[in-house]
Amino acid sequence: MATITCERITKRYGGVVAVDALDLTIRHGEFMVLLGPSGCGKTTTLNMIAGLEEISEGRLLFDDKDVTWQPPHKREVAMVFQSYALYPNKTVRENIAFPLQLRRTPREEITRAVTEVAEQLEIGHLLDRRPSQLSGGQRQRVALGRAIVRKPSVFLMDEPLSNLDATLRLSMRSLIKHLHHRLRATFVYVTHDQAEAMTLADRIAVMKGGLVQQLDTPEGIYARPANTFVAAFLGSPQINLVQGEIAPDGSFARGAFRLALPPGAAQPGRAVTLGLRPEDVGTLAPGLARLEARVDLVSPLGSETHLEVVAGDDVKLTLRVPKEWRAQEGQVIAVGVDPARLHLFDATTDARL
């Protein structure tokens, strides 16, 4: 029982609108990621779902129950914080047991639940330590343990991996994904890291300025970004965005730079922004548009190579090519681009065409 419905939820701080009439339905058992840069309103949204911040306007429903004015301790949600938020005066065992104690769970049951959770998270040997004696990764495991020990139907996670180093982040990421599969609970996960969002989410809500820019599956968002902001926020290296216009022959033009588009993509003469993902280039083949460019910088990464190239007069592009390509700096190369994979955005509204 945990479908979360936000109905035109608004949060104001004085005159500043942090979240603007947000409509969002998070389905039962879904892993929803709120993704966006800092200050986009994603954490505020999470806090409002948790009950930690008052909702200025609108309504929040858990299933059919209006919880807009319910204090957090009555909402039966669990939460994991970026700062771990472990009680420094309690041992690991006491930290995990705390939510159950507050619910007057019988002692034997608490002991059983804590042992079980500790086993799942492989922190059994840490139970008698205090948080200050743990590493960051261990702390976050304890925080996860404290959250799952209650078996709640809603999990809220506020950038839980941001304080960890890169390696740990990867292993914790898969741990969280396993947890979601096992618990079958509704997860709401806030992050600014697009890789985390892509790997974890069933659906992603990309936010900016208190508004949801796009709500879709990771694949959908990556393949069909709703606007230039979303396009640029997901994908690494970043998508190439080139401002220009539609030439009379229907191709994209900026100065001497030309690129063929699918027929009828947009009206000739219209000002547009072209989006080209770095990996959407390949060897020239029939049916592909030809892109000629001079190589400016070669960055071999081992598994692949990134090329910074200049096409036309001033169009700088980043291309992701197989490691076998042996491009030289200064060399002019020609690559093939599938016109169907190009993205076109209106130059004034930045919205997808």
Partner 1 sequence: MSGALERRPGPRRRPALGYDERNAAILVFPVVAVLLVVAAYPILYSFWVSLHDIVLTRPLRRPFVGFDNYLRIFDDERFWLAVSRTTVYTVVTVAVTTLLAVLVALLLNEAFPGQRILSALLLVPWATPSVVNGLMWKWIYDPTYGLLNALLVQLGLLERYRAWLGDPDLTLLLIANAAVWKQMPLAALLLIVTMKAIPDDLYRAAKVDGANVFQRFIHVTLPALRPGLMLVLVYETMISIRHFDLFLIMTQGGPGDASFTLSWLIYVETFRSLRFGTGAAMSYVLAMATFLLSWALIRWLGKRI
Partner 2 sequence: MAGRPIAPRLGRALLLAVFSALFVLYVAGPVAWLVSSSLQTEAQITAVPPNWLPPELNFGNFDAILNAAERQVTYETRRQGDPATGGFLPSGAANLLPSLWNSLTVGLWVAALNLLLSITAAYAIAVIDFRGRRATLYTVLATRVVPDIALIVPLFLVIRNLGLINTLGALVVTYLAITVPFTIFILISYFEGIPRDLYRAARIDGCGHWRALRHVYLPLSLPALVASLTFAFLTSWNEFVFALVLTQNVAAQTLPIVISGFVMDFTTSFSFVNAAGVIAIIPPVVMAVLFQRYIVSGLTAGAVKG
Binds partner 1 (CB under 8 A): choice among 4, 26, 67, 77: 67
Cβ–Cβ < 8 Å for 182, 203: no
Cβ–Cβ < 8 Å for 67, 51: yes
Return the CA Rg of the chain: 24
Binds partner 1 (CB under 8 A): choice among 70, 115, 163, 251: 70
Closer by beta carbon to partner 1, 62 or else 84: 62
HSE-up of 210 (CA within 13 Å, CB side)?
13
Min dist CB 11 to partner 1, Å, is 14
66 binds partner 1 (CB under 8 A): yes
348 binding partner (options partner 1, partner 2, none; Cβ < 5 to 8 Å by kind):
none
Cα–Cα distance, 353 to 345 (Å, whole number): 5
Span 74-113, contacts to partner 1 by CB under 8 A: 74
Min dist CB 83 to partner 2, Å, is 5
Cis-peptide, bond into residue 237, ω within 30° of zero: yes
Closer by beta carbon to partner 2, 47 or else 194: 47
Q: Which residues bind partner 2 (CB under 8 A)?
A: 47, 50-52, 54, 71-73, 77-79, 81-89, 98-99, 102-103, 146, 156
54 binds partner 1 (CB under 8 A): yes
Q: Count the Cβ atoms, other than its own, within 10 Å of residue 263.
A: 7
Cα–Cα distance, 16 to 11 (Å, whole number): 9
Binds partner 1 (CB under 8 A): choice among 17, 28, 29, 59: 59
Phi, psi of 100 (to 5 degrees): -75, -40
Instruction: List contacts with partner 1 (CB under 8 A).
Output: 54, 59, 64-71, 74
